[in-house]
Structures are given as structure tokens and as C-alpha cells.
């Protein structure tokens, strides 16, 4: 049989952990979560059937740069990594503080950098406000304050915004390592106290688009939330922007420190009003369910819950497939145990869920 040895509190097989890349959500998220956890726990992984159900299966360029980034962060040995590849294996080494230029989202780099031996400075290049990915504003305004509750501290310096489809943005992220992560309790929503945001245009697009997006968003939110002042600033991005683009992000904060967002990017041939309404409706949808995190933050917190020392509990709306997938992978690669409990509220007919995790309590061997 395979030899088991313990490596700072984690069971570790000398054989690689096999991960089926086609299960559940079956996309790039499986790669991100498993590569980051492999790097942190020191377990080798072998991922097969990568994105098997997708229209263009296998690794796409952004997945490849993410895997290479993790491999570099942990001086690992990455095999099979090529565009279109459906099987890869990663054997991690020691996580070192890095000063590299990388091109993928923070989602992979951050958990690894937290367990490095020194602080890291990562230069992320690509779209800052692009389709199918969180806008950089979301990362700074929503993701950052909540992961800080786990004890993760990082700074984000937006040097250049890059708009879809051109990209060309640049963000410098500085991450400080920690000894261990703290568990987080977020079970009470409280009341919504603040709603604010930015509606932007960049490049050759007229400023009127920003004003139209902002006005339409405010009107939509007003129908449901009457008592709050809503401040969505229209902005013309001049200096620090590449490409032509327009978009909007709206943020709501609650009395207990919960943060939610709704966002949308303008597309050719779509009225600015419609973009504003889309973002407003997304925000309202995330306010209605009465959970403490929005649908996008939900799955991004799983890895931190799994690594923390102690029991985390987070109240959410409907549990997304992305979240279920992240839990599945986290349980395969760490000793964390998750439970999901459904809660029905008599008064409001609201159904929320509590995601509870007994974390694996990984400690940073370098500190």
C-alpha cells in the first residue's frame, strides 16, 4: 500500500490524489481549488478529464497560466500542462514568497501566498473588468474585506484597467504570509446600511452611457429599497485604462459587516439602461435571500474555511454548484469536514443555508 506520512497536520499519501476534472461544475474552478490546495498541503495531484463536458475541452490559456503560477509559487513539478490537455499532474515543493509577473486571477495565488515563507508581490496582467470573471472592483470591495476576517491581508494596486476584449490591465498585489487562518462566523445579516457603486466608461465611449447606467440602476433599486441614499458615481476613465468599455458595479453593506455586489459589463448593441438594470437586479437578488454572502463570494470562501483552524459558519442563499464543487475538492485534499444545513424562516418565507466547516487547521511551516 502507499505510505502515509503526516506533513504539518495533514494526511499525505506518497501516491498522488486523483481528481476527476469533469465532475459537478466540471470547469476551471476544479483546477484552481485543487492546484492551490495541492500547493498548500504538499499533496501531489493528478487531474484527469479536464473540462470534459465543455465546448472546447481541456486546458484553455487562462487555466494554463493559473497552473503555471501555482507551480512557480511552490517550486513544483507540473506535467502535461499544454493548451487542450485533458490530464495534468502537479507535485508541489516549498512555497516561496514570489516577485513574479503572472497573468491569472488572485483566486489561485492568494491562498498559496498566505502560506509562503515571505511576503509576495504578484503582478497580475489581463482584463480587470472582463466577461466571466469577477471585476477587480469586486475583488477589492467585496472579497478583500471578507477574507480579511480569516486573517488574510493583501493590498491591491490597480495600475492600469484593462477592458474586455482588449485586456491589458495590470494590478500589483502584495500578500503577507500568516501562521494560520482564523475561522469565520457570518450568520447574521442585520440591515442594509449603505448602497454605493461606480458606473464607468473608458476609451472612446461617451460619458452619457455612465450616467444612463447609473440612473437606471438607482431607479431599479429604489423600487425595492426606498429609505437608503444610493450613490452610484458615473465616471469617465481616462488615465489608467486600456480598451473601450463600460460597466457598473454596485455594492451593499450591512450593519453586521456583510458585503454584496451586483455588476454588469456593457456590450455592443445593448442599451446602457439595460446594463444598469442587470447589475441592480443581481444586487437585489443577493439582498433578498437574507444570507451573509452573495452568490459569487460563496464558493471563493470554501478554500479559506477548509484551511482555517476551528469551526467556520456562513449563512448563504441557495448553495451554488460552484460551491458544492469547491467543497468536494476541499474534502478530498484536506481533512476539513463540511456540512450544509437548510434554515427556513417562519416570518419571511426565506430559505437560507448554513455552510459549516470544521477546518483542517493548516499551519505555515515557514513561519
DSSP letter assigned to residue 167: B
Residue 343 dihedral angles phi and psi, to the nearest 5°: -125, 125
For the question of residue 153 being annotated catalytic, the response is: no
Rounded distance between C-alpha atoms, residue 129 and residue 314, angstroms? 28
Cell numbers for 228, please give them.
Answer: 437608503
Of 40, 21, 49, 179, nearest in space to 108 by CA? 40
Exposure of 195 by Cβ count < 10 A (0-12 exposed, 13-18 middle, 19+ buried)?
A: buried
Q: Around Cβ 131, how many Cβ atoms within 10 Å?
A: 9
CB 184 within 8 A of CB 228: no
Q: Which three cell numbers stand for residue 85?
A: 490537455
Q: Is the peptide bond before 165 cis (omega within 30 degrees of 0)?
A: yes
**CA-based diameter of the chain, in Å?**
68
The answer to whether residues 232 and 212 touch, using CB atoms and an 8 Å cutoff, is no
Among 63, 153, 289, 322, the one annotated catalytic: 322
Residue ranges of the binding site for ATP: 107, 296-300
Residues with catalytic function: 322
Amino acid at each position: 500500500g502507499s505510505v502515509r506520512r503526516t506533513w504539518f497536520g495533514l494526511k499525505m499519501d506518497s501516491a498522488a490524489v486523483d481528481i476527476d476534472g469533469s465532475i459537478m461544475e466540471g470547469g476551471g474552478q476544479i483546477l484552481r481549488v485543487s492546484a492551490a490546495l495541492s500547493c498548500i498541503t504538499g499533496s501531489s495531484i493528478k487531474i484527469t478529464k479536464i473540462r470534459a463536458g465543455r465546448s472546447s475541452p481541456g486546458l484553455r490559456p487562462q487555466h494554463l497560466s493559473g497552473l503555471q503560477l501555482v507551480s512557480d509559487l511552490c517550486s513544483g513539478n507540473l506535467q502535461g500542462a499544454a493548451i487542450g490537455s485533458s490530464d495534468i499532474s502537479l507535485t508541489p515543493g516549498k512555497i516561496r514568497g514570489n516577485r513574479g509577473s503572472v497573468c491569472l486571477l488572485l483566486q489561485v495565488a492568494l491562498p498559496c501566498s498566505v502560506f509562503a515563507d515571505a511576503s509576495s508581490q504578484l503582478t497580475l496582467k489581463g482584463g480587470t473588468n472582463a466577461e466571466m470573471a469577477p471585476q477587480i472592483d469586486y475583488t477589492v470591495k467585496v472579497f478583500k474585506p471578507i477574507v480579511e476576517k480569516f486573517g488574510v491581508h493583501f493590498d491591491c494596486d490597480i495600475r492600469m484597467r484593462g477592458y474586455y476584449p482588449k485586456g491589458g490591465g495590470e494590478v500589483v498585489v502584495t500578500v503577507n504570509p500568516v501562521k494560520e487562518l482564523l475561522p469565520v462566523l457570518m450568520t447574521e445579516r442585520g440591515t442594509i446600511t449603505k448602497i454605493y457603486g461606480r458606473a464607468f466608461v473608458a476609451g472612446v465611449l461617451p460619458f452619457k452611457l455612465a450616467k444612463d447606467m447609473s440612473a437606471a440602476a438607482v431607479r431599479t433599486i429604489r423600487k425595492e429599497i426606498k429609505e437608503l441614499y444610493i450613490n452610484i458615481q458615473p465616471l469617465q476613465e481616462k488615465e489608467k485604462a486600456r480598451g473601450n468599455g463600460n460597466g457598473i458595479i454596485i455594492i451593499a453593506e450591512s450593519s453586521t459587516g456583510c458585503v454584496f455586489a451586483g455588476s454588469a459589463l456593457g456590450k455592443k448593441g445593448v442599451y446602457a439602461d439595460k446594463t444598469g438594470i442587470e447589475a441592480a437586479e443581481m444586487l437585489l437578488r443577493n439582498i433578498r435571500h437574507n444570507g451573509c454572502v452573495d452568490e459569487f463570494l460563496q464558493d471563493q470562501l470554501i478554500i479559506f474555511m477548509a484551511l482555517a483552524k476551528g469551526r467556520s459558519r456562513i449563512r448563504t442563499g441557495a448553495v451554488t454548484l460552484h460551491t458544492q464543487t469547491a467543497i468536494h475538492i476541499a474534502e478530498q485534499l484536506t481533512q476539513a469536514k463540511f456540512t450544509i444545513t437548510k434554515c427556513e424562516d417562519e416570518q419571511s418565507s426565506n430559505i437560507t443555508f448554513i455552510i459549516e466547516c470544521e477546518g483542517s487547521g493548516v499551519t505555515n511551516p515557514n513561519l
